[in-house]
Structure 1
Amino acid sequence: MRDSYWKIMQFGKIPRLDKPVLIEGLPGIGNVGKVAVDFLIDELGAKKLYEITSYTFPHSVFVNEDNLVELPVVEVFYKKLGKRDILLLGGDVQPIDEISSYEFSEKILDIVEKFHGTEVVTLGGIGLSDIPKKPRVYCTGNSKKIINKYKSSMVSNNLYGVVGPIVGVSGLLLGLASRRNIEAISFLAETYGHPMYLGIKGAKEILKVLDKNLNLNIDINKLDREIKDIESELIKKTEQLTEVTKQIALKKFQKKFGRDVDYIG
């Protein structure tokens, strides 16, 4: 593994966490996962634990409100909840090629193992040709046990044939976690598959599922009140880099499969 390509900065002391669940929400179709995880970080008052930068991230910088530049980063936060703690993985970008995606996912799973985590939850969107009135949430995972644990009337497990490959970190974390005997599940919400569309409705449906299963006690309605701020931040900061990541992944998969591929993540 190209360790020199990755810079992981620790913030504060290493906390003692009780079998934490990792929840991943990086940019993807509709930014569904990113919206959900960013909301959880703010709503729960999660503390920053790691900041990750890499030579494999898109070769761009952001210009912030102070007219200064910022490198794209991925961050890990934590929140102690009493019965079971959580790790939250969010950020500006995903790695832009296959090797980097594998390396990044392995490093994240190293962190999960470091804190004796036993579950990984990834979040993403399923791109549709029209805006869904009430987005459905689907799930898939690396074991029937974890699917049965989280499956409910709010979630459908009938995903086979609905979508193509799960591209990027959201998919790789599931597959690689099974090699480490870590159970992993992905929640995928329907959203409009347009690069300018922000999947707030899909994110809300996923948050309802997480709130019910993990007893987060969050006020999901706050998401509606924060839409303008969320839209402004995401459009300015992540739209261009997300599109770069998505197009590179799509082109490579289309070459391999010789057909159109749904991007999920």
Structure 2
Amino acid sequence: MEKIKTIIHEEPVLKGPILIEGLPGVGNVGKLAAEHLLDQLKAKKFADIYSAYFPPQVIVDEDGVTKLVNNELYYSQADGKHPDLIILIGDYQGLTPEGQYDLSDHVLQLCQKYGVDTIFTLGGYGVGKMVEQPRVLGAATTKELVDDMKTKGVIFSKGEPGSGIVGASGLLLGLGKVYGIKAVCLMGETSGYFVDPKGAEAVLRILAAILNVEIDFSELVSKAEQIDLITSKLKEIESPVEPRKEDLGYIG
């Protein structure tokens, strides 16, 4: 098998599309945001990307039918408000540094084929604690993009992220700059402990405003409430209730 194999199911006619990347990562923030976006836009799948850089496994659905793990490309054509979009989602990222580079380069070559000149990568910024109101931090390939994103509510904070951006969300910026493609990374704060719909909502609200896309966030809000309920129960288990002072006389 080729290291990377792309099967094109349809050749969409697009004009200067914007690529949105939302692959699995910290808190699955980018994955949740991108999948919610494509569901809202009723985007159509036009390509599957298979690779020896993905884990050697298949996914089995509820009916017992298997699917080889992959990445998928969807498109949504301009509607008079938002521009043409290509959305990249998937089951996994590459398992090795070589795989990460090759897959990102492969996606960028596809981007050139369809005339992409701007990329938004979506991800999570792990802070190691629960966050009530996640910030959205950013990184971009030019100072002009940084200044523009600041007006949209994206935070560019010195030293955050201190260790850089790992994986496709970072490589599509780095390699994209080599290809002459403008790129921005939007990172929603997340504990990193759970799948985080709250971080995904924060990222998607800013992206939706940038792209002029109307989004119903009720599903993400509902998922966030479920996560909050789980975490509150875990806190109760970890923090046993101390006895009241008036009860102390009955102890021992």
Category of TM-score, reference length = shorter chain: 0.7 to 0.9
- The equivalent of 1:201 in structure 2 is 198
Q: Which ranges of 4 or more aligned residues in structure 1 deviate by more than 3 Å?
A: none
Query: CA RMSD of the aligned region, Å?
Result: 1.8
Q: Which amino acid aligns with 1:116?
A: G
Could you say which structure has the greater relative contact order, defined with CA pairs below 8 angstroms and 6 or more residues apart? 1
**Partner residue in 1 for 2:239:** none
| Cα shift at 1:162 | 4.0
Contact conserved, 1:138 with 1:159, CA < 8 A, in 2? no
CA distance in 1, matches of 2:147, 2:77: 25
Higher mean C-alpha deviation, range 213-222 or range 152-161: 152-161
**Structure exhibiting the larger radius of gyration computed from Cα positions:** 2
The residue number in structure 2 matching 1:164 is: 163
Residues 152 and 206 in structure 2, CA contact (< 8 A), matched pair in contact too: no
1:77-99 per-position Cα deviation (integer Å, ceiling 9, x unaligned)? 00012452110000110011111
**Separation of aligned partners in 2, 1:186 and 1:159:** 15
Secondary structure (helix, strand or coil) at the match of 1:175 reads: helix
Q: Which amino acid aligns with 1:55?
A: A
Find the counterpart in structure 1 of residue 3 from structure 2: 5
TM-score relative to the length of structure 1:
0.80
Paired amino acid for 2:200: A
SS in 2 for 1:156: coil
Residue in 2 that maps onto 1:135: 134
Alpha-carbon deviation of 1:6? 1.2
- Offset at 1:219? 1.4
Give 5+ residue unaligned stretches, structure 1: 232-265
Partner of 1:139, secondary structure, is strand
Q: CA deviation at 1:44?
A: 0.3
Residue of structure 2 equivalent to 1:59 = 56
Question: 2:202 and 2:144 mapped to 1: Cα distance?
Answer: 22
Cα distance in 2, alignment partners of residues 171 and 162 from structure 1: 11
Does residue 20 (structure 1) correspond to residue 17 (structure 2)? The answer is: yes
How many aligned positions are there? 224
Alpha-carbon distance, 1:63 to partner: 2.0
Q: What is the Cα deviation at residue 150 of structure 1? A: 2.3
Contact 2:27 2:124 in 1 (8 A): yes
Whole-angstrom CA distance in 2 between matches of 1:152 and 1:214: 14
Percent identical pairs in the alignment equals 35
Deviations 1:141-185 (A, max 9, x none): 111122222223621111534431211111000000011111101
Aligned mates of 1:67, 1:163 — CA distance in 2: 44
Residue type matched to 2:121 in 1? T
Alpha-carbon deviations, 1:108-146, whole Å to 9, x = none?
111111111110110110112211010010000111122
Contact 1:139/1:159 (<8 A) preserved: no
Name the aligned partner's letter for residue 15 of structure 2.
D
1:11-30 superposed Cα distances (whole Å, 9 cap, x missing partner)? 12x12111111000000010
Which whole-Å CA distance do the structure 2 matches of 1:8 and 1:92 have between them?
A: 15
The answer to whether the 8 Å contact 1:140/1:159 transfers is no
Q: Deviations over 1:32-69 (max 9, x none)?
A: 00000010111100011110111110122222111232
Residues 1:151 and 2:150 aligned together: yes
From the superposition, tell whether residues 222 and 200 of structure 1 become closer, same or farther in structure 2 (CA, over 3 Å).
Answer: same
Give the 3 Å change call, closer, same or farther, for CA 159–220 of structure 1 in structure 2: farther
Q: What secondary structure is seen at the aligned counterpart in 1 of 2:2?
A: helix
- Identify which of 37, 40, 45 aligns with 1:40: 37
With normalisation by structure 2, the TM-score equals 0.84
Q: Which residue of 1 aligns with 2:187?
A: 188
Q: Structure 2 counterpart of 1:193, which letter? A: G
Matched, 1:78 2:102: no
